[in-house]
Amino acid sequence: MSFPTYSVEDIESILEKELNGERKSVKPDKVEISKVEEPKSVAPTLAATEWESAEWEGVEKRQVPASEVFDLPLPNVLLTQYRGFESFPQLLVPSIPDVYEPCLDALAALCLGAANDLKTMLVGDTGTGKTSLIEFFAHKLGRPFVRTVFDATTDDQKLFGSLEVKAVGGASETYFNRSDLTKGLAFPTVTCLDEFSRANSEQTMLVNPLLDRRQVTVTSHDDAVSERVVAHEDWLVFGTDNTNGSGDDMDLYNSSNVLDEAIRNRFDIYSRVPYMSESTERKVIMALSGDVFTSEQAKQLAHFSALCHKGYADRKIRTAFSVRNLKAIVAMVMSGVSMKQAIDHNFTQRVAKAEQADISEMIRGIWG
């Protein structure tokens, strides 16, 4: 970029006029700057590689674009897909229900995290399908799945396992009794730290080395022996949470903790999972009924569900309504129970008394 210049005479003239109180701007010659267009970077569209043998007997792997595995516009995001782990009795490759509609935005966040070694946290109200989405992700990529849940009894032994002593031929021998989480570290497992804000400060301190350095250290009861376990290079970890770790000011999730910013910062991507849209739930209801429901029945039940979602989001009702409720209601209706009776059995009788009048009014407004 060129800058205007002033001659010695110009500067002297400015100073003289400044002293005389007659300062006027000196206009330099006009400088023309031609517009330079930035080159457009076009990443090449990637293609799936051929299947090749993995390090475990009977297991193959390949690199595949996310757009080929999922219905996502991510042709340049490569994921590692496996096949063969289904035959390993000690591992679980999750199955998915016949009726499933993933949240595509959150699914894209999982793909971006997996492809770039970034830890992804899914946030959403209960019943939005956060854990199910991670299971779906693992299923489509043929990966083992491990779910770890935190509660008041969770300690280092429950999380990672323990070093035990057993008698062998008159002598004692130390062996590592691994937890499911630690067993999964030896494979390209998808590990889900479920409802992560239920973890207290001591529990998050235990998990820190796993999130930071992809490793855990297990120590015997007397601290005499320890063993370090390093995760496989293709091991993945995701988290789920109702509150994103910032607390619950509506007191809907009593067991949630306000997580320290240091632990929240260890997750690189946060993605919110909403309840399904009314139109999507209508399709799910038809599929759950085996297309036995009429379109009007599906429309009415989906509308009731949408009203419950809105009431819960606005915190006017404190009881969540999810796909679990839809499955139960459809099953009861298929068994000959009326829709209103099924909703009463599954939902109305479960909500607080203060909310039952609002729920009953919603039911009357739809079914009369």
CA pair distance 143, 232, nearest whole angstrom? 13
Is the confidence at residue 20, as pLDDT, over 70? no
Residue indicated by tokens 């038809």: 286
Q: What is the DSSP letter of 37?
A: P
Closest by CA to 197, choosing from 163, 247, 155, is: 247
Pairing state between β 120-123 and 171-178: unpaired
For 2: left if phi > 0, alpha if psi spans -120 to 50, otherwise beta; the answer is: beta
362 has pLDDT over 80: yes
Q: Which pLDDT score is estimated for 120?
A: 96
**pLDDT, the chain, mean:** 85
Whether 92 and 116 have beta carbons less than 8 Å apart is answered as no
State whether residue 171 is helix, strand or coil. strand
pLDDT tens, position by position, 187-200: 999 999 998 888 88
Does position 252 have pLDDT exceeding 60, yes or no? no
| Rounded (to 5) percent helix, strand, coil in the chain | 40, 15, 45
- What letter does residue 87 receive in the DSSP assignment? G
What are 62's two structure tokens?
A: 């390949």
* Token couple for 219: 């120590």
Of 85-89, 110-114, 295-299, 309-313, the one with minimum mean pLDDT is 309-313
Please state, in angstroms and rounded to a whole number, the distance separating the CA atoms of residues 249 and 44: 47
CA-CA-CA-CA dihedral for 323, 122, 111, 263, to nearest 10: -160
Q: Which domains does the chain have, with CATH numbers?
A: 55-272 (3.40.50.300), 278-367 (no CATH)
Sorted by sequence, the CB contacts under 8 Å of residue 331 that are 6+ apart come out as: none
- Most confident of the following: 27-36, 96-105, 210-219, 342-351: 342-351
Identity of the highest mean pLDDT range in 21-25, 159-163, 319-323: 319-323
78 three-class SS: strand
Query: What pLDDT is recorded for position 217?
Result: 84
pLDDT band at 3 (very low <50, low <70, confident <90, very high): very low
* Single-letter residue type at 113: G
Establish how many alpha carbons lie within 13 A of residue 96's alpha carbon, considering only the half-sphere containing its beta carbon. Answer: 18
Q: How confident is the model at residue 17 (pLDDT cuts 50, 70, 90)?
A: low
What confidence tier does 33 reach under pLDDT thresholds 50, 70, 90? very low
- C-alpha to C-alpha distance for 274 and 134, rounded to whole angstroms: 15
The pTM score is 0.80
How far apart are the C-alpha atoms of 237 and 41, rounded to whole Å?
31
* Model confidence band, residue 41 (pLDDT cutoffs 50, 70, 90): low
Closest CA to 144 of 154, 132, 135, 153: 135
pLDDT for position 166:
76
**DSSP state letter for 344:** I
CA-CA distances (angstroms) from residue 334 to 54, 238, 269, 290, 329?
Answer: 46, 37, 41, 10, 9
* The pLDDT of residue 221: 65
